Amino acid sequence: MLEERQETPEQQHASGGGHAAGHPSPKEYVRIGVILAVLTAIEVAVAYTDISHAILIPTLFFLAIVKFALVVLWFMHLKFDDKRYARFFVIGLSGAAILYLVVLISFRAFS
């Protein structure tokens, strides 16, 4: 009778299987870090420009969501983990975004 052999986590990591498969290299982390730095510079530049709040707030909000997504997907390894974790983060992000927009609307930040 054939017996299925189970690999330890160390063996899976060494063979490239299991959880470690497809994870980014250090070069990719640096690339994402540079992208985050550029997005932060754009945020600072936008904040110091003389534009109306109706444009400023949604622009900064969009940039924050993009940065959040990059951090969650790459640095928290959500891109490489089970899709259920992604659903939890999307639900949390959606709830936070809705709450944030409700507060902004209630304080008339867009007028």
Residue 102 pLDDT: 92
* Cβ-defined contacts of 49-52 (< 8 Å, 24+): none
Handedness of CA 60, 62, 66, 72 (dihedral sign): positive
Could you tell me where the beta strands, DSSP code E, fall in 11-65? none
Residue 67 to residue 46: CA distance in whole angstroms: 15
Select the more confidently predicted residue: 69 or 38: 38
Which sequence spans correspond to the domains of the chain? 22-106
- Give the contacts of 108 (CB within 8 A, at least 6 positions apart): none
What distance in Å separates the CA atoms of residue 95 and residue 77, rounded to the nearest whole number?
21
Q: What is the pLDDT of residue 10?
A: 52
Question: What does the pLDDT look like over 8-32, one tens digit per residue?
Answer: 555 554 444 444 557 788 899 899 9
pTM of this prediction? 0.62
What pLDDT digit, counting tens, does each position of 62-84 carry?
A: 999 899 888 888 888 777 888 88
Decide if pLDDT at 109 tops 80: no
Phi, psi of 103 (to 5 degrees): -65, -45
Site of tokens 């932060």: 40
